[in-house]
Amino acid sequence: MKFQIFNEDQDKQYYANPYYNESRDTDIIKPTKKDKVSFHRLVEPSIENDTNSFITKTFFIRYAEELVVLRDIIKFRTEVEVKPGYLDTEFFLKAELYYQPPPTNNFSRCMNSALAL
- pLDDT, tens digit, 9 for 90 and up, residues 92-105: 999 998 887 776 66
Does pTM surpass 0.85? no
- d(CA 16, CA 3) in angstroms, rounded, equals 11
- Which parts of the chain have pLDDT scores under 70? 26-37, 103-117
Cα 23 off chain centre by: 10
- d(CA 7, CA 9) in angstroms, rounded, equals 7
Longest dimension (CA), the chain: 61
| Number of domains forming the structure of the chain | 1
pLDDT score for 42 = 79
- d(CA 88, CA 111) in angstroms, rounded, equals 50
Q: Provide the residue range defining the domain that includes 58.
A: 2-115
End-to-end CA distance of the chain: 23
Who contacts 79 (Cβ-Cβ below 8 Å, separation ≥6)? 14
